[in-house]
Chain A
Amino acid sequence: MENLNLVLPEIFISLSIMFLLILGVFKKNSSKITFNLSLFTILITAIITINETFSVSRETLFNESVVIDSMSSLMKIITLIGGFLVLVISSSYLKTFKIYNIEYPVLILSSILGMMVMISSNDLIVFYMGLELQSLALYVLATYNRDQLKSSEAGLKYFVLSALSSGLLLYGCSLVYGFSGSTNFDIISNQLNSNEYVLTFGIVFILVGLAFKISAVPFHMWAPDVYEGSPTTVTLFFTIVPKIAALTVFIRFLYVPFLNLIDQWQMIIIFLSIASMVFGAVAAIGQTNIKRLIAYSSIGHIGYTLAGLATASNEGIQSSIIYISIYVVMNLALFSCLLMLRRKDQYYENIEDLSGLSKNHPLLSLCLLVILFSLAGIPPLAGFFAKFYVFKAVLEQSMFFLAIVGLLSTVVAAFYYLRIIKIIYFDKEKDKYDTDHSLWLKFSLTVSTILILLYFIFPSQLIEVVSRINII
């Protein structure tokens, strides 16, 4: 008998989804209850995850197709926290657009479920199942504001391109299966050796598919449009939560089945990383819409996380995970600010709308200042440490080119972050925005900003948690 306690979080969340669907359909005006219950569900799931799996060093289930280890439990917790915060700050935005329905929390829950399956997967089939579950939920979420043309367009675009990438991924999986004779990661790892060059195709297809999901250059084209078109809260969800899951899968693929083939994929990852860092920094300069800008900046940030992965060392993996955790906090804070730009039931999302914000809203501007400098990677804010760990790991492997290109692109990236700060602080002021924000929104902004600002006092804690992750 398998130890089902280890997958209790997944079981609990699936049962909750079914229950919430039934509740939502049969009870009228139940959106508020569904929302609160979903929040509750995520909370409980997180508690179960911590209780049941956090101390597990490595266990496998169901013919070794599911793996529970320190990485999976940590990433699940980050996913759940991210999902919780997204959901909690969404409600006022959704109410404004009159799309405060039961489907929203249920879709978010199901995509979180899909991600948790992805994170734990140790088998191509399980991985693909999780991936599709989260993708399907995300397609619908992107079109969630269905009365708006842009939102529908975003969803359709996302669907078509994502389906294409899933196809590539599947093709890669089938090639790998063909060569190794198994779908299990551990068995694949034992079967493969670096002599089989044809296998490179399989790896490339899988990597392309994954690069699509995390929007690394040159597979990033969907990101700006989808980010711009989707409802802001969904964009927030897109920028943080699926990236965590996709990154975990990336790590698993590279370091479990393909570890022996490192010569074949290392160059690809380095290329993806450099291209993303440089392109993300350069392309963001001309943007006028904040969401588009965030899309490009997130492409850049993915480049830095990939730089950590390219090192093929535990240090590198850990630094990538630290990077993505800090990135989640920064993005959460940035979007909280964005959701505060509301005037009479209308949300503003152009950079110009921030003009002179510091005169009317000094505290909000101060938060933005901290967040933007942190995103730019200026010490002593958290964003600097994220980059610092990554480059420390990169330089350990003497990959000087990657490190120097990466750091130079931070200078370019600093330019467009500075441009926003300039607009906030140096330009003429505009009308005031509303200040009656929901408590949760204020809470998430305050907490995340304080975390960013004061991270430097206790940098060891995060490292300690992450240092338990030893894949290789």
Chain B
Amino acid sequence: MNFPILSSLILLPIVGALFLFFTKDKEGNNLTAKYVALFTTVVNFLISIYLWISFDQSTSSFQFVEDRVWIEGFINYKVGVDGISILFIILTTFITPICIISVNNSVKNRLRDFLIAILIMESFMIGVFCALDLVVFYLFFEAGLIPMFLIIGIWGGERRVYSAFKFFLYTLLGSVLMLVAIISIYWITGTTDVVQLYEIGIDVKYQNLLWLAFFSSFAVKTPMWPVHTWLPDAHVEAPTAGSVLLAAILLKMAGYGFIRFSLGLFPVASEVFTPLIYTLSVIAIIFTSLIALMQEDMKKLIAYSSVAHMGFVTLGIFTLQQQGIEGSIIQMISHGLVSAALFLTVGVVYDRMHSRLISTYGGLVSVIPKYSILFMLFALASLGLPGTSGFIGEFLILMGAFKDNFLVAVIASIGVILGAAYMLWLYKRVIFGKLINKDLKTILDLNRSEYFILSCLAAPILFFGFYPDPLINTIEVSVTDLINMHNTNIASK
């Protein structure tokens, strides 16, 4: 590998942020800063597309690997992608420019600082998805807390301080145990290099404890029931762009971590704890769907629906079936697109009415039809209607689950129905019905930039809904090999 393409993906947003840092901050709509940030992220997106094109789909080994000595004899700075991680990188680089376009109305003060935070966040998130060393992974994983804390705290809503603290402390608490586990792995095996660890394997007697330590971190980040409570707060109080980043990408870090580390490094423990994951996932699916039904705040409803969707993801991962894991990955990508879109649609009306309560709205279809159509598309994608990407993911997950455990699959299927219920009910209350609130009569339909970003999100949702092959082709070999490796590990122990 000649050109360090992954490092440049990580570094480019930081360079953009540095550039912004040295420009003068203007009050109000700082167009220069926005263009700089947009330019950086779009270039990053194009690089990642190039990465995808030149990616070799026929092998599961890591590609574009860069391996540099970082701390002599201890940690190497090692990054690389395989079929699983590359999609998340593209998701990240795709969502970030959309976030930046969307800040038009939601962020009033200190726009430049906000953009810097988003850019730094992007680089950390890309770092998480391509790190091939546990310590490097941990660094990126944790470092992301800083910009997100500031995004929620500075630009958030009324209870932003509480939410920012809750977000930060919850995730930090989960992660420190993972740090203990990482250092322990180093002392047990003598390396923190993931590729080498795949080959060496970790002694069975340590696996359970290590798995639990990783689980504590990923469960908080996913978030799984019962440690999901930070998510609704963080989502509700964060500015729209922050919610989008949080829902679309941050939550995926944990799902990715489960696949890459929990399954890959601790195969025996993963089998042992599958019932635990199943239970928690099923509770998350049913319980949070019921909670979502009762929400009066739109953002909160979507936040709870995220928890439910992530429940499907964890369920799918631990079915340890080809379909289940592929479904989980596609579900994560799809949820990244759909939840981002839903938060943006809520953001659109919030910017106009400054209310997130469902009861404020009603009858929107007669005043803003374009908005209503797009909202419908996203709501249907969220509940997993065939023809949208949400369907592919959920369907594959349930297929994997039926193979592995009939009961769990049946209960999870009920969750699908509940998902349809809260989403359609939300849509009905916001869009249909009588136009009671007089302020709504003068509400404006989507402006150009809003129309543009929502269409940008709608296109891949529909495209992958009808034609998921590009996604599946990319991940297939990697997932197959992951499962093969898992099965040989189990068989040998």
**Provided the pairs A378-B146, A392-B183, A459-B71 are in contact, do residues A422 and B176 lie with their beta carbons within 8 angstroms?**
no
Whether A415 touches B143, Cβ cut-off 8 Å, given contacts A392-B183, A459-B71, is: no
Determine if A460 and B71 form an interchain contact, defined as CB atoms under 8 angstroms apart. Answer: yes
Q: Which of A22-30, A401-409, A438-446 contacts B (4 or more CB under 8 A)?
A: A401-409
Chain B residues within an 8 Å CB radius of A373: 146
Kindly identify which residue among A380, A396, A400, A421 contacts B180, using a CB–CB cutoff of 8 Å: A400
How many B residues have CB within 8 A of the partner chain?
32
- Which residues on the B side are within 8 Å of A388 (C-beta)? 135, 179, 183
- The residues in B between 159 and 196 inclusive whose CB is less than 8 angstroms from any CB of A are 160-161, 164-165, 168-169, 172-173, 176-177, 179-180, 183-184, 186-187
Chain A residue with the shortest CB-CB distance to B173:
A411
Stretch at the interface among B28-36, B149-157, B282-290, B484-492: B149-157
Q: Which of A395, A396, A407 contacts B176 (CB 8 A)?
A: A407
Does B435 count as interface, using CB distance less than 8 angstroms?
no
Say whether B248 faces chain A, with CB atoms less than 8 Å apart.
no
A379 within 8 A of B: yes
Which residues from chain A contact B62 at a C-beta distance below 8 Å? none
In the complex, whether B139 has a CB less than 8 A from a CB of chain A is yes
With beta carbons under 8 angstroms apart, the residue of A391, A415, A418 that contacts B183 is A391
A464–B71 Cα distance when bound, in Å, is: 10
Residue pair A411, B143 in contact (C-beta under 8 Å): no
Among residues of B, the one whose C-beta sits closest to the C-beta of A412 is B169
Name the interface residues of B401-445: CB closer than 8 Å to any CB of A. none
| CB-contacts of A414-435 with B (<8 A) | 414-415, 418, 421-422, 425-426
Contact of B177 among A395, A407, A422 (CB under 8 A): A407
Residues of B within 8 A of A201 (CB): none
Verify if A233 is at the interface (C-beta below 8 Å from B).
no
| Residues 147 to 177 of chain A near chain B (Cβ within 8 Å) | none
For A398, what are the chain B residues with a Cβ–Cβ distance below 8 Å?
Answer: 187
Contact A404 B180 (CB under 8 A): yes
- Contact flags B125-157 to A (C-beta < 8 A → 1, else 0): 000000000010011001101100110011000
Please tell me if A37 contacts chain B, counting CB pairs below 8 Å.
no
Give complex CA distance A335, B113 in Å.
25
Contact A407:B179 (CB < 8 A) given known A379-B142, A418-B149:
yes
Q: How far is the CB of A176 from chain B (nearest CB, A)?
A: 35
Is A395 touching B146 in the complex (CB atoms < 8 A)? no
* Separation of A148 and B165 alpha carbons in the complex (Å): 38
Is A463 an interface residue, CB under 8 A from the partner? yes
How far apart sit A414 and B146, CA to CA, in the bound complex (Å)? Answer: 12
Q: Is A456 an interface residue (CB 8 A)?
A: yes
**CB of A310, distance to nearest CB on chain B (Å):** 16
Most buried by A among B149, B154, B165, B172: B172
Told that A379-B138, A384-B142, A459-B70 touch, could you supply 4 new A-B pairs with CB distance under 8 A?
Answer: A392-B183, A407-B176, A425-B153, A463-B71
- Of the A-B pairs whose beta carbons lie under 8 Å apart in the complex, a sample of 28, sorted by A's number, is A362-B25, A378-B142, A378-B172, A380-B139, A384-B142, A395-B180, A395-B183, A395-B184, A395-B187, A403-B180, A404-B180, A408-B173, A410-B176, A411-B176, A414-B168, A414-B169, A414-B172, A418-B149, A421-B153, A422-B165, A425-B150, A426-B154, A426-B164, A456-B139, A460-B70, A460-B71, A463-B71, A464-B72
